[in-house]
Amino acid sequence: MSVERAERLGCTTIQIFSHSPRNRHVEDIPYEEAARFIELRKVSGIAPLFVHASYLINLASASDDVWEKSITLLTREMELADVIGADYLVLHPGSVASGQGEAYGRIIGALKRIGQRPGSGGQWKSTILLENMAGDKDGLLSSFSGLAGIIEQIGGIKTPGAIGGSVVGGICLDTCHAFVSGYDLSTAHGLAELTDEIGACMGPTAVRLVHLNDSKKECASKVDRHEHIGAGKIGETGLKRLVNHPAFADIPLILETPKKEPDDDSGNLARVRAFFNHPLLY
């Protein structure tokens, strides 16, 4: 139903789960169902299609068991993303409990293995977007320079059509995660700091998706609680400034705002669309 629902809301891109994200066991998607989905999406013109990976995946885990299970589940995610014709798989790179340097190596090792496509000589059609995490701005997985380091170690960002090499197609910027990790997106200065860092460490085209969320919690609080657009601590001005910034001019926006009332999505969408009527100037 995702394509129909997106069309009803006037959306031009979607993010979905390909299975229950809290379940380790993942059934195959029947061929007819996948074919129907691909056809519906083609007719609707909705693109790109983002799949969000399971929350159970932790490529940074120090436990060999969890790490291996995470690689297995991520491989499954890539298979399903290809089956339904997704463009990108959005991945939280991992959560770090202990030594950061060690965790970094685990993530790099896992992504290299996924890139080799275990059990098959073929190539993945979709690529992975690494999402910035809601931690400490100086932490490896919350900073864009940290994510750039991972990407560099696995062979850079995959260029469309390239054979072999990296499985990562770019970055997903989550505005709530960036804010609570210390990038103050409520101010022009904070936004400039963020875009400068991204530009310097990975180039402006690395960002392929923005998760546009307001934040219930303060800047640098390290607490990840998404809020309705304009109702949180980043606020309307901060988010409006971001979506109109030249660095994000052609980047798809996906809302991950709370869904408690039936009109929550339409309300948030209306607020974001209004941001483009009277854009801030740079």
What does the binding site for Zn ion look like in residue numbers (CB under 5 A)?
174, 211
Q: Which residue bears the tokens 């669309």?
A: 273
Least separation in angstroms between residue 101's CB and Zn ion is: 25
Pick 55 or 276: Cβ nearer Zn ion:
55
Pick 174 or 184: Cβ nearer Zn ion:
174
Number of neighbours of residue 270 by Cβ within 10 angstroms:
12
Pick 76 or 211: Cβ nearer Zn ion:
211
Least separation in angstroms between residue 260's CB and Zn ion is: 18
Least separation in angstroms between residue 97's CB and Zn ion is: 21
Pick 95 or 153: Cβ nearer Zn ion:
95
Residue 209 CA to its chain's centroid (Å): 6
Cβ neighbours for 104, distance < 8 A, ≥ 6 positions apart: 60, 140, 146, 149, 150
Rounded distance, CA 203 to CA 105, Å? 23
Are the CB atoms for 59 and 74 separated by under 8 Å? yes
- Residue 272 has phi, psi (to 5 degrees) of -70, -40
Least separation in angstroms between residue 168's CB and Zn ion is: 17
Residue 105 CA to its chain's centroid (Å): 21
Least separation in angstroms between residue 176's CB and Zn ion is: 7
Q: Which of 126, 141, 37 is nearest to 78 (CA)?
A: 126
Pick 79 or 174: Cβ nearer Zn ion:
174
Least separation in angstroms between residue 88's CB and Zn ion is: 13
Rounded distance, CA 209 to CA 199, Å? 15
Q: What is the DSSP letter of 247?
A: G
Pick 83 or 178: Cβ nearer Zn ion:
178
Q: What are the DSSP calls for 54-88, one per residue?
A: PTT--TT-S-HHHHHHHHHHHHHHHHHHHHTT-SE
